[in-house]
């Protein structure tokens, strides 16, 4: 296989090679220079993972946690309301053994109480 430099019939090859070499030197110089920006230099846009960390104040952090807690509580209420909504149940769950359901309920009450500890 021949290299492009040995192949003289391509028009404009010399010019393209000269441009590529010049661009290569520029890119190498740009990569070699110090990657870290100066402290007083304006950064411009940077991806999230390269931005310097800015710690929140205690008040801002508490406010964010309060909002998050409120959001989770609201979601829990919606979930509870959805579970208790009167949508039609399957036939099997309606016909289920009522005595078995009562027993399960009683067992659940005992399990959640501290009665069994004595």
CA distance 85 to 80: 9
Q: Which of 26-30, 39-43, 65-69 has the lowest mean pLDDT?
A: 39-43
Cα–Cα distance measured from residue 97 to residue 93, given in angstroms and rounded to the nearest whole number = 9
Place of tokens 């110089």: 29
Contact criterion met (CB below 8 Å) for 14 and 6: no
The predicted model gives 60-83 an average pLDDT of 92
**CA 39 from chain center: how many Å?**
29
Summarised one tens digit per residue, pLDDT across range 81-104 is 887 776 666 655 655 677 777 777
Tokens of 71: 């959001």
Terminal Cα-to-Cα distance of the chain (whole angstroms): 90
């Amino acid at each position: 296989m021949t290299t492009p430099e040995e192949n003289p019939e391509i028009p404009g090859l010399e010019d393209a090679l000269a441009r590529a070499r010049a661009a290569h030197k520029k890119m190498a110089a740009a990569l070699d220079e110090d990657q870290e920006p100066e402290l007083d230099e304006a950064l411009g846009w940077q991806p999230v993972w390269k931005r310097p960390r800015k710690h929140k104040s205690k008040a801002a952090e508490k406010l964010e946690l309060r909002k998050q807690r409120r959001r989770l509580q609201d979601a829990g209420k919606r979930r509870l309301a959805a579970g208790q909504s009167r949508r039609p149940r399957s036939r099997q769950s309606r016909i289920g053994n009522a005595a078995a359901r009562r027993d399960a309920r009683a067992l659940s009450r005992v399990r959640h109480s501290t009665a069994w500890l004595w």
